[in-house]
Amino acid sequence: MKAVGIVGFKKSGKSALVIRLSQELATRGYRVAVIKHTPRHIDFPDTDTSKFRLHVPFVSAISPNETEIILKGKKKIEDVLTYCDTDIVLVEGFKKEKTFPKIVCIRNENEKKELFDGLQLCTASFEEGVSDFIIANDEHIKDIAALAIERSFKLPSLNCGHCGYESCYELAREIVKGKESVDKCVSLHPPVSIKVDGTMFPLNPFTSELFRNTILAMLSSLKGYKKGAVEIEIP
Protein backbone atom coordinates (compact mmCIF):
# COMPACT_ATOMS: atom_id res chain seq x y z
CA MET A 1 0.00 0.00 0.00
CA LYS A 2 1.17 3.52 -0.82
CA ALA A 3 0.47 6.70 1.11
CA VAL A 4 1.05 10.40 0.59
CA GLY A 5 0.34 13.17 3.08
CA ILE A 6 -1.47 16.43 2.34
CA VAL A 7 -0.33 18.93 4.98
CA GLY A 8 -0.70 22.65 5.56
CA PHE A 9 -2.24 25.23 7.82
CA LYS A 10 -5.93 26.06 8.04
CA LYS A 11 -7.51 27.40 4.83
CA SER A 12 -4.47 26.39 2.76
CA GLY A 13 -6.47 24.17 0.38
CA LYS A 14 -5.77 20.73 1.90
CA SER A 15 -9.32 19.39 1.62
CA ALA A 16 -9.80 20.83 -1.85
CA LEU A 17 -6.59 19.16 -3.01
CA VAL A 18 -7.57 15.83 -1.43
CA ILE A 19 -10.91 15.88 -3.25
CA ARG A 20 -9.45 16.83 -6.61
CA LEU A 21 -6.53 14.43 -6.29
CA SER A 22 -8.73 11.51 -5.22
CA GLN A 23 -11.00 12.15 -8.22
CA GLU A 24 -8.06 12.20 -10.61
CA LEU A 25 -6.56 9.02 -9.17
CA ALA A 26 -9.93 7.28 -9.34
CA THR A 27 -10.30 8.15 -13.04
CA ARG A 28 -6.94 6.45 -13.59
CA GLY A 29 -8.25 3.26 -12.04
CA TYR A 30 -6.69 3.53 -8.59
CA ARG A 31 -8.60 2.64 -5.44
CA VAL A 32 -8.18 5.58 -3.08
CA ALA A 33 -8.72 5.94 0.67
CA VAL A 34 -8.63 9.14 2.71
CA ILE A 35 -7.57 9.45 6.34
CA LYS A 36 -8.18 12.88 7.85
CA HIS A 37 -6.94 14.37 11.10
CA THR A 38 -9.23 16.69 13.02
CA PRO A 39 -8.25 18.48 16.25
CA ARG A 40 -11.90 18.74 17.28
CA HIS A 41 -14.44 16.27 18.63
CA ILE A 42 -16.08 14.20 15.89
CA ASP A 43 -19.80 14.92 15.73
CA PHE A 44 -22.16 12.10 14.81
CA PRO A 45 -25.86 12.32 13.96
CA ASP A 46 -28.31 11.42 16.72
CA THR A 47 -28.88 7.82 15.63
CA ASP A 48 -28.87 4.46 17.40
CA THR A 49 -25.37 3.80 16.01
CA SER A 50 -23.96 6.96 17.59
CA LYS A 51 -25.66 6.12 20.90
CA PHE A 52 -24.04 2.68 20.98
CA ARG A 53 -20.55 4.21 20.89
CA LEU A 54 -21.10 5.73 24.34
CA HIS A 55 -21.09 2.24 25.83
CA VAL A 56 -18.80 0.09 23.69
CA PRO A 57 -15.35 0.60 22.07
CA PHE A 58 -16.34 -0.66 18.60
CA VAL A 59 -19.50 0.07 16.63
CA SER A 60 -20.23 -0.83 13.02
CA ALA A 61 -23.25 -0.10 10.86
CA ILE A 62 -23.71 -2.02 7.60
CA SER A 63 -26.13 -0.98 4.88
CA PRO A 64 -26.62 -2.24 1.30
CA ASN A 65 -24.47 0.64 -0.01
CA GLU A 66 -21.80 1.33 2.61
CA THR A 67 -20.31 0.35 5.96
CA GLU A 68 -19.45 2.66 8.83
CA ILE A 69 -16.96 1.79 11.60
CA ILE A 70 -16.57 3.83 14.78
CA LEU A 71 -13.58 3.06 17.02
CA LYS A 72 -13.43 4.60 20.47
CA GLY A 73 -10.22 6.32 21.53
CA LYS A 74 -7.31 7.79 19.61
CA LYS A 75 -5.74 5.45 17.05
CA LYS A 76 -2.52 5.46 15.07
CA ILE A 77 -2.60 5.71 11.30
CA GLU A 78 -1.30 2.13 11.16
CA ASP A 79 -4.36 0.95 13.12
CA VAL A 80 -6.70 2.51 10.56
CA LEU A 81 -4.73 1.29 7.55
CA THR A 82 -5.69 -2.28 8.41
CA TYR A 83 -9.20 -1.40 7.16
CA CYS A 84 -7.96 0.17 3.89
CA ASP A 85 -8.09 -2.26 1.00
CA THR A 86 -6.87 0.34 -1.49
CA ASP A 87 -3.93 1.23 -3.71
CA ILE A 88 -3.17 4.73 -2.42
CA VAL A 89 -4.08 6.43 0.85
CA LEU A 90 -4.29 10.23 1.00
CA VAL A 91 -3.54 11.38 4.55
CA GLU A 92 -4.84 14.87 5.28
CA GLY A 93 -3.17 16.60 8.21
CA PHE A 94 -0.90 14.65 10.59
CA LYS A 95 1.98 17.08 10.04
CA LYS A 96 4.15 15.27 12.60
CA GLU A 97 3.93 11.86 10.90
CA LYS A 98 7.27 10.81 9.43
CA THR A 99 6.76 7.58 7.50
CA PHE A 100 5.43 8.78 4.13
CA PRO A 101 6.07 11.64 1.67
CA LYS A 102 3.99 14.80 1.74
CA ILE A 103 2.48 17.41 -0.52
CA VAL A 104 2.65 20.74 1.30
CA CYS A 105 -0.20 23.22 0.84
CA ILE A 106 0.96 26.79 1.46
CA ARG A 107 -0.54 30.27 1.42
CA ASN A 108 2.80 32.08 1.21
CA GLU A 109 6.53 31.41 0.98
CA ASN A 110 7.13 31.85 4.73
CA GLU A 111 5.08 28.75 5.59
CA LYS A 112 7.67 26.48 3.96
CA LYS A 113 10.03 26.94 6.92
CA GLU A 114 7.42 25.67 9.35
CA LEU A 115 6.06 22.82 7.23
CA PHE A 116 9.11 21.37 5.47
CA ASP A 117 10.58 18.34 7.26
CA GLY A 118 12.53 16.69 4.45
CA LEU A 119 9.57 14.59 3.28
CA GLN A 120 8.01 17.14 0.93
CA LEU A 121 7.48 16.05 -2.67
CA CYS A 122 6.13 19.40 -3.83
CA THR A 123 4.07 22.40 -2.80
CA ALA A 124 0.54 23.35 -3.87
CA SER A 125 -1.52 26.49 -3.40
CA PHE A 126 -4.47 28.52 -4.61
CA GLU A 127 -2.09 31.49 -4.90
CA GLU A 128 -0.07 32.14 -8.04
CA GLY A 129 3.71 32.31 -7.78
CA VAL A 130 4.23 30.74 -4.34
CA SER A 131 4.12 26.99 -5.07
CA ASP A 132 5.06 24.30 -7.56
CA PHE A 133 1.44 23.59 -8.47
CA ILE A 134 -1.88 25.44 -8.45
CA ILE A 135 -4.75 23.52 -6.83
CA ALA A 136 -7.37 25.01 -9.19
CA ASN A 137 -5.40 24.04 -12.31
CA ASP A 138 -6.61 20.79 -13.92
CA GLU A 139 -3.28 20.06 -15.60
CA HIS A 140 -1.43 20.63 -12.34
CA ILE A 141 -3.71 18.14 -10.57
CA LYS A 142 -2.81 15.57 -13.21
CA ASP A 143 0.88 16.26 -12.58
CA ILE A 144 0.42 15.90 -8.80
CA ALA A 145 -1.44 12.62 -9.34
CA ALA A 146 1.42 11.29 -11.46
CA LEU A 147 3.87 12.31 -8.73
CA ALA A 148 1.79 10.57 -6.06
CA ILE A 149 1.57 7.37 -8.11
CA GLU A 150 5.29 7.26 -8.78
CA ARG A 151 6.74 8.38 -5.43
CA SER A 152 4.25 7.64 -2.64
CA PHE A 153 5.14 4.99 -0.06
CA LYS A 154 4.45 3.98 3.54
CA LEU A 155 7.09 2.71 5.97
CA PRO A 156 5.85 0.58 8.91
CA SER A 157 6.88 2.94 11.77
CA LEU A 158 8.79 0.17 13.57
CA ASN A 159 12.12 2.02 13.86
CA CYS A 160 13.89 -1.35 14.00
CA GLY A 161 17.16 0.01 12.59
CA HIS A 162 17.82 -2.99 10.34
CA CYS A 163 17.85 -0.75 7.27
CA GLY A 164 20.97 0.97 8.61
CA TYR A 165 19.11 4.09 9.75
CA GLU A 166 18.10 4.82 13.32
CA SER A 167 14.46 5.51 12.44
CA CYS A 168 11.90 5.11 9.68
CA TYR A 169 11.94 8.90 9.38
CA GLU A 170 15.62 8.96 8.43
CA LEU A 171 15.08 6.30 5.77
CA ALA A 172 11.95 8.09 4.50
CA ARG A 173 13.92 11.31 3.96
CA GLU A 174 16.54 9.47 1.92
CA ILE A 175 13.83 7.81 -0.17
CA VAL A 176 12.24 11.20 -0.91
CA LYS A 177 15.68 12.54 -1.91
CA GLY A 178 16.02 9.62 -4.32
CA LYS A 179 19.08 8.25 -2.53
CA GLU A 180 17.36 5.12 -1.18
CA SER A 181 14.54 2.79 -2.20
CA VAL A 182 11.57 1.46 -0.23
CA ASP A 183 13.19 -1.96 -0.72
CA LYS A 184 15.76 -0.85 1.85
CA CYS A 185 13.08 -1.45 4.53
CA VAL A 186 13.73 -4.99 5.71
CA SER A 187 10.43 -5.11 7.63
CA LEU A 188 8.39 -4.69 4.44
CA HIS A 189 9.95 -7.88 3.01
CA PRO A 190 10.46 -10.19 6.01
CA PRO A 191 11.34 -13.92 5.68
CA VAL A 192 8.02 -14.59 7.44
CA SER A 193 4.83 -12.71 6.59
CA ILE A 194 1.63 -12.85 8.60
CA LYS A 195 -1.81 -11.94 7.32
CA VAL A 196 -4.89 -11.85 9.50
CA ASP A 197 -8.14 -11.83 7.50
CA GLY A 198 -6.17 -10.66 4.47
CA THR A 199 -4.41 -7.78 6.26
CA MET A 200 -0.62 -7.85 6.44
CA PHE A 201 0.93 -7.42 9.90
CA PRO A 202 4.42 -5.86 9.79
CA LEU A 203 7.12 -7.72 11.69
CA ASN A 204 10.53 -6.38 12.57
CA PRO A 205 13.44 -8.66 11.55
CA PHE A 206 13.96 -10.06 15.06
CA THR A 207 10.30 -11.10 15.47
CA SER A 208 10.16 -12.45 11.94
CA GLU A 209 13.25 -14.58 12.44
CA LEU A 210 11.88 -15.80 15.79
CA PHE A 211 8.66 -16.96 14.10
CA ARG A 212 10.62 -18.60 11.29
CA ASN A 213 13.02 -20.54 13.51
CA THR A 214 10.27 -21.65 15.91
CA ILE A 215 7.99 -22.91 13.14
CA LEU A 216 10.79 -24.71 11.27
CA ALA A 217 12.00 -26.33 14.48
CA MET A 218 8.54 -27.73 15.17
CA LEU A 219 8.01 -28.90 11.59
CA SER A 220 11.41 -30.59 11.37
CA SER A 221 10.38 -33.00 14.11
CA LEU A 222 7.35 -34.17 12.14
CA LYS A 223 7.49 -37.37 10.10
CA GLY A 224 7.63 -36.72 6.37
CA TYR A 225 8.79 -33.11 6.66
CA LYS A 226 11.05 -31.82 3.91
CA LYS A 227 12.42 -28.36 3.17
CA GLY A 228 10.29 -26.02 1.08
CA ALA A 229 7.96 -23.04 1.26
CA VAL A 230 5.74 -23.32 4.34
CA GLU A 231 2.14 -22.15 4.41
CA ILE A 232 0.10 -22.26 7.62
CA GLU A 233 -3.55 -21.26 7.65
CA ILE A 234 -5.61 -20.74 10.81
CA PRO A 235 -9.34 -20.28 10.09
Confidence of residue 48 (pLDDT cuts 50, 70, 90): confident
Query: Would you list the domain boundaries of the chain?
Result: 2-40+77-154
- pTM assigned to the model: 0.77
Neighbours of 17 (CB within 10 A): 24
- Looking at 114-123, 141-150, 182-191, 200-209, which range is the least confident one? 200-209
Rg of the chain (C-alpha set): 21
Does the pLDDT at position 76 exceed 80? yes
Does the pLDDT at position 210 exceed 90? no
Nearest to 86, CA basis, from 10, 37, 42, 35: 35
Does the pLDDT at position 151 exceed 90? yes
Does the pLDDT at position 164 exceed 80? yes
pLDDT in tens, 5-42: 999 999 999 999 999 999 999 999 999 999 998 877 77
User: Which segments of 58-212 are extended strands (E)?
Assistant: 58-62, 67-71, 88-92, 102-105, 120-125, 133-134, 194-196, 199-201
3-state helix, strand, coil in the chain (%, to 5): 30, 20, 50
Q: In the chain, what percentage of residues exceed pLDDT 70? A: 94
**Could you give the CA distance from residue 221 to residue 146 in angstroms, rounded to a whole number?**
52
Mean pLDDT of all residues in 166-178: 96
Q: Is 167 helix (H, G, I), strand (E, B) or coil?
A: coil
DSSP string, 52-102: HTTT-SEEEEE-SS-EEEEE-S---HHHHHTT--SSEEEEES-TT--SS-E
Nearest to 35, CA basis, from 66, 14, 53, 10: 14
**Could you give the CA distance from residue 36 to residue 38 in angstroms, rounded to a whole number?**
7
The residue ranking higher by pLDDT, 77 or 138, is: 138
| CATH node for 2-40+77-154 | 3.40.50.300
